[in-house]
Amino acid sequence: MIRAAVLGGAGYIGGELLRLLLGHPEVELAAAVSSRLGGKRIDSTHPNLRGLTDLTFCAEEELEQYDVLLLAAGHGATMELLPRLAGHAKTLIDLSGDFRLTDPAVYEAYYGLPHTAPELLGDFVPGAPELAREALRGADRIAVPGCMATAAILALRPLAAEQLIEPDVTVDARTGSSGSGATAGPANTHAERSGAMRVFAPAGHRHEAEIAQSCGVRPTMTATGVEAVRGVQVLCRATLRDGVDETAVRRAYRRHYADEPFVRVVAQRRGMYRLPEPKVLSGSNYCDVGFAVRPEARQVLAVAALDNLVKGGAGNAVQSLNIRMGWPERLGLEFPGLHPV
């Protein structure tokens, strides 16, 4: 048993970390920090945890020593916090956007503010087991990718890595409302957000930079909020290189993901759930990846779906921790999702 602490535990990614760590057989959830809710029970914010714990939120100042500290704070804030919190744990896993990009200039371009700890960027290993499993084994600084980025990277990586596609790709991302966090505001009230198809990022979404960095492609991404609480789906379009056909595409996906515990290739010719869809993934750590080839147009459509709070955040963090600790990779992440839901 190791001792873990979560910072930002009142948010949605934070709450999902609490759920997963409370159910993890090798982890003791020792502390959950909330600047706003100090002293309140964590199950008063996350009612699904009732009966599982009597833990209350604490203030940052009350943090002690832990084996691992997971940070689910906002971008901008995290690069300020991290240096001062680093002493509380040997292993830090950050779920913000602050330590995902290796180039501080790219960070500034996409986040609109200069990076205040550029010297630390090189310390971080991506919390993306499919990309960085070996590096994660010894990692003590882990930066979990963004939810839409994870989906797009897992959709595009086999094609990009095997040079099956041209570098210009488009990414049409759709996301549920939990992706914008737990803070109330005019744009996320139920009456306004319900039934939405809201193109909140017609261009230049931050996750673009992560996709470019991880896949070596030039993505143009749009992001649309659709009716769902959890769930991300991406549709990526690329031009196939000369001579690449459906067989080559299928083979690339199979090869890359044959041994992955949490990536399933879903690309069927018929059936209701023939391509990846997030609704059956709620609560699970799977990312489903599929594709459709349009040979006459030399185009491939790569589709991926995941639960933005799990494989798009907290689950990827726990999977990375499992690898870091040498535990079985599926430990604490066995929930397969529901049907129907």
Question: Known catalytic residues?
Answer: 147
Helical (H) or strand (E) element with 3: strand 2-7
Nearer to a copy of itself by Cβ, of 81 and 209: the residue is 209
Strand order of the sheet with strand 66-71?
27-33, 2-7, 66-71, 89-94, 141-143, 125-126
Nearer to a copy of itself by Cβ, of 81 and 304: the residue is 304
What's the chain's Rg over C-alpha atoms? 19
Nearer to a copy of itself by Cβ, of 78 and 222: the residue is 222
181's tokens: 């966090």
Nearer to a copy of itself by Cβ, of 29 and 143: the residue is 29
Q: Please, what is the minimum distance in Å from the beta carbon of residue 84 to a copy of itself? A: 29
Q: Please, what is the minimum distance in Å from the beta carbon of residue 54 to a copy of itself? A: 13
287's tokens: 């990312």
Q: Please, what is the minimum distance in Å from the beta carbon of residue 167 to a copy of itself? A: 12
Q: Please, what is the minimum distance in Å from the beta carbon of residue 339 to a copy of itself? A: 4
Task: Say how far apart CA 283 and CA 230 lie, in whole Å.
Answer: 9
Give the 3-state secondary structure of 113-178.
CCCCCHHHHHHCEECCHHHHHHHHHCCCEEECCCHHHHHHHHHHHHHHHCCCEEEEEEEEEEECHH
Task: Say how far apart CA 251 and CA 99 lie, in whole Å.
Answer: 33
